[in-house]
Structure 1
Amino acid sequence: MANYTIEEKDNFTVLGIGVELKSSYTDYAGINKEKADFWQRVRQDGTLDTLKSIATNKYIFTVNEAINNKMMHYAGVMTDASVAVESRDIQFPKGEYLIIKGEAATSEELSNMLTGIAFGQVLSEVTDIAYVGGPNASVEMGQRNGLVFGEMWIPVVRK
């Protein structure tokens, strides 16, 4: 099984700019294509640079959240500022979080890898915690040795 930790986090807010994912939640290829298209767009149109310019730290959040029966995917940052485009304050609750660390060649590879490990391995194998919904995030924290490194943060409860 993948290495993971459980950490206590205070509540925090991420300002996100997002897209509704239209593919079926079991269509991984479709979901990954929609996410890749979204990230290409926010990089090219300057949206990601705008978010980075108002961030309180260097972390870039890739947030997934089911809201109003929609699968949403966001690029986000921690900030007290706002942006001129449609955005959402995504509330992460105080409590325990499943944390999985990793590194990859690109931001997308990191997010996809961490998400796969979390939902494909750890959460299906660990018996004393459960993910009961709410936003989860892949957090890009920086670069070292030519790789992007970061963590997956998933709010969990004890069973």
Structure 2
Amino acid sequence: MTNYILVEKDSFTVLGIGTELKSDYTDYAGINKEKADFWQSIKQDGRLDTLKSIATNDFILAVNEAVNNKMMHYAGVMTESSVPGESRVIQFPKGEYLIVKGEGTTSDELSNKLTGIAFGQVLPEAENFAYVGGPNATVEMGLRNGLVYGEMWIPVVKK
């Protein structure tokens, strides 16, 4: 099984700018294209830089959350501030989190790789914990040796 750890985390909030994903939840290619288009858009129009400017650390979070029966995807940061325009405060619960670490040549590659490992390998094979919903996030933590590195954070419960 892939390397992962379980970590107890305090609750935390993320301020995010989001988009609704319209592809079927099993259409990975469609979902990944929607996410990539969204990230390109917020980089080009300056919304990502605005988020980064109010962040309390250097982490950039790609958050997935079901809201009112819609699949939502957010670019987010940890902050106590707010930004003008459409944004959402996303609450992550206190509790145990599945943490999968990795790296990629781009932010998209990192996110896709961590999501694939977490949801395609670790969670289906897990015998003593399960994901029961709630927001999850890919956390881009920085660059190391020319690669983007980070973690996937998924709240889990003991089975």
Taking the aligned partners of 1:26 and 1:152, their CA distance within structure 2 comes to 20
- How far the C-alpha of 1:67 sits from its partner, in A, is 1.1
Taking the aligned partners of 2:86 and 2:66, their CA distance within structure 1 comes to 18
Query: Which consecutive unaligned segments of at least 5 residues does structure 1 have?
Result: none
Taking the aligned partners of 2:73 and 2:13, their CA distance within structure 1 comes to 15
1:23 has 2:27 as partner: no
Question: How far does the alpha carbon of each residue in 1:78-108 deviate from its partner, in whole angstroms, 9 at most, with x for none?
Answer: 0011000110000000000000000100111
Which residue in 2 is equivalent to 1:37?
37
Query: Which consecutive unaligned segments of at least 5 residues does structure 2 have?
Result: none
Q: Which runs of 4+ in 1 moved over 2 A?
A: none
Question: How far does the alpha carbon of each residue in 1:32-88 deviate from its partner, in whole angstroms, 9 at most, with x for none?
Answer: 110010000011110110000000000000000011000000000000110001100
CA RMSD of aligned residues (A): 0.4
TM-score by length of 1: 0.99
Q: Name the SS for the 1:155 alignment partner.
A: strand
1:2 has 2:7 as partner: no
Q: Name the SS for the 1:74 alignment partner.
A: strand
Give identity over the alignment, percent: 78
Taking the aligned partners of 1:108 and 1:76, their CA distance within structure 2 comes to 15
Which residue in 2 is equivalent to 1:69?
69
AA aligned opposite 2:17: I
Taking the aligned partners of 1:69 and 1:2, their CA distance within structure 2 comes to 31
Taking the aligned partners of 2:45 and 2:117, their CA distance within structure 1 comes to 31
TM-score by length of 2: 0.99
Which residue in 1 is equivalent to 2:123?
123
AA aligned opposite 2:77: V
